[in-house]
Copies of this chain bind each other. A is one copy, B any other.
Amino acid sequence: MAPPTETLTAERILEATEEVLRRHGPAKATVVDVARALGVSHGSVYRHFRTKAALREAVTKRWLDRTSEKLAVIAAGDGAPEQRLRAWLAALFEAKRHKAGDDPELFATYTVLTDENGTVVGEHIADLTAQLTRIIETGSASGAFTAADPAAAARAVFQATGRFHDPCYAREWQGPGIQDEFEAVVDLLVRGLAA
């Protein structure tokens, strides 16, 4: 299948694993499939990843990191904090909704993997919350927000918008009123922060 005469790296294995997951889904994607896609024996894959779980965890981390990086650009922007907060939340929602709507099967795969890898997801959430904290801190400094504890406020904002980024709500992201609902929640939260 793939060019067999090329050094086997963790990166190439991850790429092949994503492809296998895309093709077969999370339930039927095996380490043997990954090895076959790479034209090597499955023993070679175990040289780079101790277990199948570790391999899937690494794929999950890659996926989540891609989202983090995109949002970090917005968080580090230089607009008004309130606008940056709105843009950041909208981008998070849009990214998730887009993925879920575009390729529901792949999104289901992604959801299964995140369910298996609580630790990696926890780190991802910590990362996103840290980005939110920075936005709120900027706002507190400029007087746009009045948050005694920006980190706590960031956690509250993240949790209160869960309906618009948590995969367990994915099937509701295609409904008609969803955009209005998103804006209503964000307005309420921004008003609470600015109070």
Contacts and interface: CB of A to CB of B under 8 A. Distances in A.
A189 interface: yes
A152 B185 CA distance: 9
Interface string A175-194: 00000110011011111111
A194 B195 CA distance: 8
B191 A152 contact: no
Interface stretch (A11-19, A57-65, A87-95, A155-163): A155-163
A181 B195 contact: no
Interface residues of A, number: 26
Contact of A160 (B161, B169, B193, B195): B161
A58 B153 CA distance: 41
A46 B161 CA distance: 44
A2 interface: no
Contact of A195 (B156, B169, B195): B195
A1 interface: no
Contact of A181 (B156, B169, B193): B156
Contacts of A163: 159-160, 162
A193 B184 contact: no
Interface of A: 152-153, 155-157, 159-163, 166, 168-169, 180-181, 184-185, 187-195
5 smallest beta-carbon distances between A and B, as pairs: A192-B192, A160-B160, A191-B192, A188-B192, A156-B184
19 contacts: A156-B181, A156-B185, A156-B188, A159-B163, A159-B185, A160-B160, A160-B161, A160-B163, A160-B185, A162-B162, A162-B163, A166-B168, A188-B193, A189-B189, A189-B192, A190-B192, A191-B191, A191-B192, A191-B195
